[in-house]
Amino acid sequence: MSCKKTAKRACKTTVKTKAAKASAVKYPTRHEELIKWVNDFAKLTQAKNVHWCDGTKKEYNAICESMVESGAFVKLNPKKRPGCYLARSHWSDVARVENRTYISTEKREDAGPTNNWVAPDELKKTMTDLYKGCMKGRTLYVIPFSMGPIGSPISKIGVELTDSPYVVVNMIIMTRVGTKVLKQLGKDGEFIKCLHSVGAPLKPGQKDVPWPCAPLEKKYISHFPETSEIWSFGSGYGGNALLGKKCLALRIASSLARKEGWLAEHMLILKLTSPENKVHYITAAFPSACGKTNLAMMEPRLPGWKVETIGDDIAWMKIGADGRLYAINPESGFFGVAPGTSMDSNPNAMRTITKNTIFTNCALTDDGDIWWEGMGVPAPAHAIDWQGKDWTPDTVDKDGKKVKAAHPNARFTAPAAQCPVIADEWEDPNGVPVSAFLFGGRRPTVIPLVNQAKDWTHAVFMGSAAGSETTAANLAEVGVVRRDPMAMLPFFGYNAGDYMLHWLTMPLRTDVNKLPKVFFTNWFRKDEKGFMWNGFGDNIRVLKWVCERIEGKGKAVETPIGFLPTPDAIDMTGYVDPQRSAAEMKKTMKDLLSVDVEGWKKEIEAVAESYKPFGNRMPYALKAKLAEIKAALEK
Ligand code: SAT
Ligand code: MN
């Protein structure tokens, strides 16, 4: 970024690389290890400038404006979306790339069978070669960030070095960035080193493209949990590039959590208040694009109930002095899936993204607003699609298939503080006490609407057995069921068998009586009429039963797979499915809340199959639980 008038303040902390060598250079920190690490990387990558981010609004605005000038951002109509921008990615760089994501440990077994693995020496050599000269013609941004409220005993500090201004502004929304973090770090505080480059150096005079990135075979999203480092190359997109999110807050943090005795999970955190003013905090682990954001901000369709948001994607949970689990949201923003988000499905998300939001791969309307499929408003007669092409509702591709205006994994990045139902305590440094965990996934058949675990081992089994239909959040086949234990499959920072053992040992570290009650939910069952359950605001009916169970009430029947609600246990007052009469819905509820014995036998086989690659690293207790359920189903 050049020192334009708009960017004057930001440039105060921008130093020419050559000048950086001179002792006269002022750094916004006295942390020598940090300064040396930054300068070494600037030298390796041959960055044109080094810019230390201060995290101010002024800096954020200056970088956004410079991206508008360079063509990387479109400024949206300030009357319709004040403070909002649209970015369009390269067509090939639209989601996480799991086949280019590595957990690099000295021993292959420590990464486990679910992760790609290359030894650290080899991977670092390959990537050092890629990093050589990769920032020519670009600015290296230094982003000091805190995951979790600054200074909270649960938080962790990271520093990301990147040549992507898109990453900087997204990180400013998603994490706590800037001088205040450096202050907290002091002269010798610990931080997690995160390297990132889009991998597209510029020759002198070469014009930049709106979304620079490297081809797939050069992309690497690498994690070194033994030294708590992240090295990312070649992609500018979400979870590949905003290194605080999946890379730090899940992969590196899960490995730290195991060492330090806590939990880093792919879970939303919500606050539920009953009509009697009883409060319960609930966390829920669903795979990417399965409705975590929707549940976290739900508008309940039962009178008197209130849902407030603490987090929509990641929960870090530590054990309090009272033996309970306390959760914080390590993030400060939402990186949500746009398509399907509407005033119907998630009104609070729609209200959150009315201002100060970055949209990625959404369609641009002629009046300077954004649009996506499933927004709940009619398609515009004309728009510019996510690839920057003219689009109308009739646009088809060369095979005659309708072209989508927004990419199915198009995203919004919005400050959490803007959410109208953000809970007052969302930034409490001590976290909130958790009463229940939900696991879930997108399962069109077999899995009931809700099912409660009988004990902690059963709870861990339930999590280990989770599976879901794949979605567009990952660059792979969409719509096939894959096992996604604890919704962590793409995010385990170590051997998933060891992770299960870590979970199984939680009762040894907590007050067992205060451990969260655990449930498996499935909003996605289908029959010939389509979805059998409305989902969204009607999910409060399931949460109400969950609360009753937490409080030792709530009618349930014990079955081989867990405690299922009796058919009348779910409050259906005012429930309307336009496709089903009340009598039909009664039958549907019966189907949703019964055990499909034949289906479950197959399910158990599939889970057993998923344990096999782990050999003895999969805890015996889970195999025993599986055998117990299998035997009970045979009876
Ligand atoms: O791109 S992200 O990994 O941040 C989003 C997701 O897949 O959940
Ligand atoms: Mn996620």
Instruction: Name the residue among 440, 398, 302, 415 with its Cα closest to residue 351.
Output: 415
pLDDT for residue 353? 98
CA–centroid distance, residue 266 to ligand 2 (Å)? 6
Per-residue pLDDT at 289: 78
Q: Comparing C-alpha atoms, which of 580, 610, 537, 506 is closest to residue 112?
A: 610
How far is 374 from 377, CA to CA, in rounded Å? 8
Distance CA(585)–CA(611), nearest Å, equals 37
If one residue of 251, 288, 312, 478 were mutated to test the ligand 1 pocket, choosing by the most ligand atoms within 8 A of its CB, it would be: 288
Residue 396, strand partner residues: 402
Closest residue by Cα to residue 195 from 251, 116, 248: 248
Q: Which atom of ligand 1 is nearest to the CA of 95?
A: 1
The phi-psi region of residue 400 (left if phi > 0; otherwise alpha if psi is between -120 and 50; otherwise beta) is left
CA-closest residue to ligand 1 atom 6: 288
What integer pLDDT is reported at residue 564 of this predicted model?
98
- Which of ligand 1's atoms lies nearest the C-alpha of 313? 8
Give the C-alpha separation, 437 to 452, whole Å: 10
Choose one of 89, 93, 96 to mutate for the ligand 1 pocket test, by most ligand atoms within 8 angstroms of C-beta.
Answer: 96
Task: Fill in the DSSP letter of residue 613.
Answer: G
Ligand having the closest approach to the CA of 239: 1
Mean pLDDT by 10 residues, the chain (635 residues): 42 53 74 98 98 98 98 98 98 96 98 98 98 98 98 95 98 98 97 98 97 98 98 97 98 98 98 98 92 95 98 97 98 97 96 98 98 98 98 96 97 98 98 98 95 98 92 66 94 98 97 97 96 97 98 96 96 97 96 97 96 98 98 95
DSSP letter, residue 454: S
Q: Are strands 325-328 and 315-319 parallel, antiparallel or unpaired?
A: antiparallel
pLDDT at 37: 98
Max CA-CA distance within the chain?
Answer: 80
DSSP code, position 538: G
For residue 132, which amino acid is it? Answer: K
Q: How far is the centre of ligand 2, averaged over its atoms, from the C-alpha of 288 (Å)?
A: 4
Asked if 557 contacts 549 with a C-beta cutoff of 8 angstroms, the reply is: no
Q: Quick check: is 290 catalytic?
A: yes
| Residue 560, token pair as written in the block | 């081989």
The DSSP letter of residue 6 is G
Which residue's CA is the nearest one to ligand 1's atom 2?
Answer: 239
AA letter at 208: D
Cα gap 168→468, rounded to integer Å: 32
What pLDDT score was predicted for residue 14? 63
Question: Which residue in this structure is represented by tokens 């949209």?
Answer: 359
Which residue CA neighbors atom 4 of ligand 1 most closely?
239
Q: Which ligand is nearest to the CA of 268?
A: 2
Nearest to 167 by CA among 408, 361, 360: 360
pLDDT of residue 386: 98
Q: What is the CA radius of gyration of the chain?
A: 24
Cβ neighbors of 633 (< 8 A, separation 6 or more) are: 560, 561, 595, 597, 600, 601, 604
Report residue 174 as tokens: 């998603």
| Cβ atoms of residues 220 and 231 within 8 Å | yes
Contact at 8 Å (CB) between 247 and 145?
Answer: no
Q: Which residues contact 591 (CB under 8 A, 6 or more apart)?
A: 525, 527, 532
Residues with CB under 6 A from ligand 1: 96, 238-239, 245-246, 288, 335, 473
Identify the pLDDT of residue 8. 42
- What is the DSSP pairing of strand 432-440 with strand 517-521? parallel
85 C-alpha to ligand 2 centroid (Å): 22
Task: Specify the pLDDT at position 20.
Answer: 47
CA-wise closest residue to 214 among 229, 230, 192, 196: 196
What is the Å distance from ligand 1's center to 284 Cα?
16
Q: How many CB atoms lie within 10 A of CB 483?
A: 18
Closest atom of ligand 1 to 289 CA is 8
User: How far apart (Å, rounded) are the C-alpha atoms in residues 211 and 241?
Assistant: 13
Is there a contact between 488 and 597 (Cβ–Cβ < 8 Å)? no
- Ligand number nearest CA of 238 is 1
Neighbours of 137 (CB within 10 A): 17
Q: How far is the CA of 569 from the centre of ligand 2 (A)?
A: 31
Give CA–CA dist 268/411, Å, rounded. Answer: 17
Q: Which ligand is nearest to the CA of 335?
A: 1
Distance between CA atoms of 313 and 303, rounded to whole angstroms? 27
Report the pLDDT value the prediction gives residue 567, as an integer from 0 to 100: 87
**In this predicted structure, what is the pLDDT of residue 339?**
96
What DSSP assignment string belongs to 548-586?
Answer: HHHTT-S-EEEETTEEEEPTTTS--TT--BTTB-HHHHH
CA of 132 to the centre of ligand 2 (A): 32
CB 5 within 8 A of CB 57: no
DSSP codes joined into one string, 503-531: HHTHHHHS-GGGSPEEEEE-S--EETTEE
Write down the catalytic residue from 290, 362, 419, 547. Answer: 290
